Amino acid sequence: MKRRNQAISLLLTTVMTFSMILSGCGNSDSDSGQKAGGQTAQPDAAAQAAAPAPADGTEAAWDTSKEDTIILSVINNFYTAGEKKLAEEYMKLHPETKVVVDVISDNDAYLTKMVTSLSDDKKENAPDIVHGNFVGMALTNNSMDLAVDKGYLYDMTEMLDEENPYNGNAKVRDVFEEDDLTRVLSNSGGKYRPYLPFDKIGFAFFYNKNIFEANNIQVPETYEEVVEVCQKLKDAGYDVPLSAGYESFRLGNTLADAIYRAKEEEFLIQPEDALWDENTMASNKDFKFDEAQPNCDQFCVLSPERMLKYGIENGVDTPENKAMWTEFQKLGQYFPKNWIAAESTQCIADFESQISPMLYQASFNAGLILSDINQLSGDMAFDWATFQINSFANPPEGFQKDLRSYWDFGNIMSIIDKEDSDHMARVKDFYKFWYSPEGAQLCYEETLTNGNYVQGPCVIKGVTLSEELEGILAGFEPVAPSKEWNSITGLERSNQADIPKFNDAVIRYTNKELEVDGLLKELDPIYSNYNQDAKTAGGYDLDPATDDTPKE
């Protein structure tokens, strides 16, 4: 099964208005509406979304005679303009509740804030709505289910069947596709839904059409062809044919998915497991991957304990992982020499300045790249497009032909679980306001108008985007979404103290200074350290049939 190449606008003049509202994604957030170059965003009056309104007769589930404050803690530029607008509109409806949008500068600062806010019994003073995946990274060894068990995050499952007054009192779950709700369950550990989905992000290859045409290079359609194109560009004098950064581990997971999905049934929660739920996991029973249907496992829920057990028993030095890393090096050798440490901004700059003819990047930077290239002139201007690699031409032994890639949730917003029921009622109500069709539409449009990031298409039913934006984001949707295999492959699996060792080994490997056997030998103790800490933190006894008690 092949998906045709998705071209991002080649005639940039046709999307001038759209690119104007997308510029400035890398600048600090402010309420002024100023963008890169001092240009002020001009809203399109015809595209302005209405704020949600509660259904007739809706009564507040909290004491409206008392004042209270909701704190929404977010990372700079990721929908921040839209979130501020939502807060403003919500306070018009509920003046007794103040909504504060606390904007944190970057990912590292946000991780630090989650640690300091939620450690030492400070939870009641912590923010109320947060990027839940950062709570998992900061406090529970990347496990969001464990973050619920430890009392940090609220389980959204019980909220799904509540009414949303900002969507005509329809159930909260009605704005989501069931497979998305299942994917949340699977991504989190199979037990809870610590967040509800808002958008999706994906990755694609960007390429310089002018350089390709000048070198008589066709757009690659298979993995082997991408490698061949990189060598042709290298021979043509481009030292870094493919600009790529830390995000390129997603390519490794794509390769791992082509191996491990053939035995996926071994890693699914089973009827005999303590986590089994007939209502949400029925697709797991007697499952066998059907290569003729790449989406066949999208309702299946992976078992973190089964995957951890496999990792501990087999280590990282397995035939499957050796095959994955071998294929990864074939493309990784064309990355920048120190690609793991490369910032995405530098990778993008190398592509935009035509140092690198290709770029591997996520959808959340597509608008920024469009805007930047649209402003180039003279010899710096060039046409560009994107492509996906959906297959091998001749799959190596052990691999399936189709290549599935990352297509998963981006903006993962969770609620901190607090004991004050009145306060929690307000927080949940604001969350419903935001996650209604009108609220999500307002968030997107205000975000775009102010030049902030949108990460990808919205998953909430009823939200519509401009034709130009839909066209751009369509290029990031793969033949089917891959499952996550990092806990088996060791990709991105190292404790903080081992990160320098992990990065050094992988860089030497992609620079062809280390053979694959040597790489796996160096990664094995790093992977083992990570797995042992994950086992301890989760209280796993490595018997899926028994309940586990997380470490306090």
Q: What is the mean pLDDT of residues 304-314?
A: 95
Tokens found for residue 366: 């597509």
Which are the contacts of 338, defined by CB distance < 8 A and separation ≥ 6? 507
Q: What is the mean pLDDT of residues 269-291?
A: 93
Domain boundaries, the chain: 45-199+410-462, 201-406+478-538
Burial 288-326 (b: 16+ CB within 10 A, else e): ebeeeebebbbbbbbbbbbbbbbbbeebbbbebbbbbbe
Q: Which H helix or E strand runs over 408? A: strand 407-409
Burial class for 245, CB neighbours closer than 10 Å (0-12, 13-18, 19+) = buried
In terms of CATH, what superfamily is 201-406+478-538?
Periplasmic binding protein-like II (3.40.190.10)
At residue 331 the predicted structure's pLDDT band, cuts being 50, 70 and 90, is very high
pLDDT, one tens digit per residue, over 170-203 is: 999 999 998 899 889 988 888 899 999 999 999 9
Percent of the chain at pLDDT exceeding 70: 91
Tokens found for residue 241: 């044919």
- What architecture (CATH level 2) is domain 45-199+410-462? 3-Layer(aba) Sandwich (3.40)
pTM, entire model: 0.81
Q: Is there a common fold for 45-199+410-462 and 201-406+478-538? A: yes
Q: Measured between alpha carbons, how far is residue 82 from residues 101, 291, 450, 451, 469 in Å?
A: 10, 41, 8, 10, 17
pLDDT, one tens digit per residue, over 138-149 is: 888 778 988 999
Greatest alpha-carbon pair distance for the chain in Å reads: 73
